[in-house]
Structure 1
Amino acid sequence: MPYTQLKEMDDVNPEFPQADVALVISANDAGIDNRLYTDPETGMFFSDAKKGLAELKAAVGEFAG
């Protein structure tokens, strides 16, 4: 994805109420508490970024048919 298409969280946050799904890609900063880890409405997918995105793309493609 071209860097120019990336958005800062503060800029994209207002769009979340209109979204059905959000895919947030981020590094896991050690030692920083993240309330999303315990949020029951959040799923976490841990993987190597390139490999994991390829897996997610394939899975969504199968689901969307």
Structure 2
Amino acid sequence: MQYSRFCFLTLSLGLCLLSGSALAQGNPGSGGPEPGQPTAVPIDGGASLLLAGGAAYALARLRKRR
């Protein structure tokens, strides 16, 4: 009983001490695109990989069906 209470207290204290470093963002406005500016998103590589994977899966299913 004492061991489980000690572990609980140790873990609770550790989580409380480490929770300050888990902030998502320090300053508002530090990063991200500005409103009104277009952003370049490279979707060509990922989309072509998904398309090739879908085609391969479809061919495999068609061959299995025959």
Range class of TM-score, shorter chain:
under 0.3
Give the helix-richer structure, 1 or 2: 2
Structure 2 length-normalised TM? 0.27
Greater Rg, structure 1 or structure 2? 2
Structure 1 length-normalised TM? 0.27
